[in-house]
Amino acid sequence: MAAGKAVTIPVALTIAGSDSSGGAGVQADLKTFAALGVYGASVITALTAQNTTGISGIHEVPADFITAQIDAVFGDLDVKAIKIGMLAQRGAIEAVVAGLSRWSPKHIVLDPVMVATSGDHLLARDAVASLRTSLIPRASLITPNLPEAAALLDEPIAESEAAIASQGRRLLAMGCRAVLIKGGHGHDSESIDYLVDGSGTIALAAPRIATRNTHGTGCSLSAAVAAGLAKGEGMEAAVRAAKAWISAAIAAADRLEVGHGDGPVHHFHGYY
C-alpha cells in the first residue's frame, strides 16, 4: 500500500503531572490535543498515584530531568503552543521558567493547578510566590478556577460577577496577557467563565450540566485553548471554541463508565 502524502500538523506541548488513571494531567491534555487535531508532546513534572476517588501519592520529577525533557522536545519539534499544568515544587517552576527563557515559545497557557477537584493540595506553599512572580508574567493566558484565583490574590472567593472581573484585572496586573476565570465551582444554572484582557471582560456562559463525571475538566479546557492557539486561532476564538468543546465533553461524560468516583469527561465525544 503506497504511503500517502505527509501532512504538516501543528504541535502543542503539555508540561504537567501524570495521572495514572488517565482522566486528568498529561493524559487528559494529550487526549484533548488529539481530539482537536493537534500533535501532542509532553514534559512530565510529577507522577501521581491516583484514580477517580483521589490521589494517594505524588513522586516529583527532578528539576534537571524536567529541563532535559524540555530541551529534547524543543530541540526537535516545532512547538506552536504550550499548556502548563501541575508544577508541585519551586524547583519545577524554576526549571520551566528557565526553559521558556531559552526557547521563547509564542503561546503559553498556564493552568495554575493548586488544589485537585478531590481537595488534594497539588502545589507546595513555598512555590506559590514563584508561580506569581516568575511564571504568570510569561503567560499568554492563565486559567484559574474561582478558588485558585482567590488563592493567588490572597483574597476570599469572589461571589459576584463584579468581584470576579475585579480579581481578573488584578491577576492581569501580575503580567500575563489574559485571564480566564473558570466558573465551574459556582452553583447557578449556568457555568460562566470570564475572559479578562486589556480590552475588558467577556462572560462566556454554558448550561451547568448535572454530572459527577468532571475529572480533568480544568486540564482539558486549558489544553483545548492551547490547541486552538497552536492552530493559529486568536485568543478569544480559541477560548470560545475550547469552552464549547469542554461543555460537550462534560455533557457526554455519562456515556463512559470509568472508575467508582468522579469519572473523566468524554474527550472523544465527537467520534464515539
Any idea which residues carry the catalytic annotation?
182, 214, 216-219
Q: How far apart are CA 221 and CA 83, in angstroms?
A: 10
Is the CB of residue 92 less than 8 Å from the CB of residue 46?
yes
List C-alpha distances in Å: 236 to 21, 99, 104, 162, 182.
Answer: 32, 27, 22, 20, 15
Cell of 133: 512572580
CB atoms within 10 A of CB 65: 14
Rounded CA separation 144/146 (Å): 6
- In this structure, the chain runs to a length of 272
- Dihedral-angle region of residue 200 (phi above 0 means left; psi in -120 to 50 means alpha; beta otherwise): left
How far from chain centre, in Å, is Cα 94? Answer: 19
Phi, psi of 146 (to 5 degrees): -60, -45
List Cα–Cα distances, 191 to 50, 147, 184, 206, 227, in angstroms: 27, 15, 6, 5, 22
Measuring CA to CA, which residue among 82, 134, 86, 131 is closest to residue 108?
82
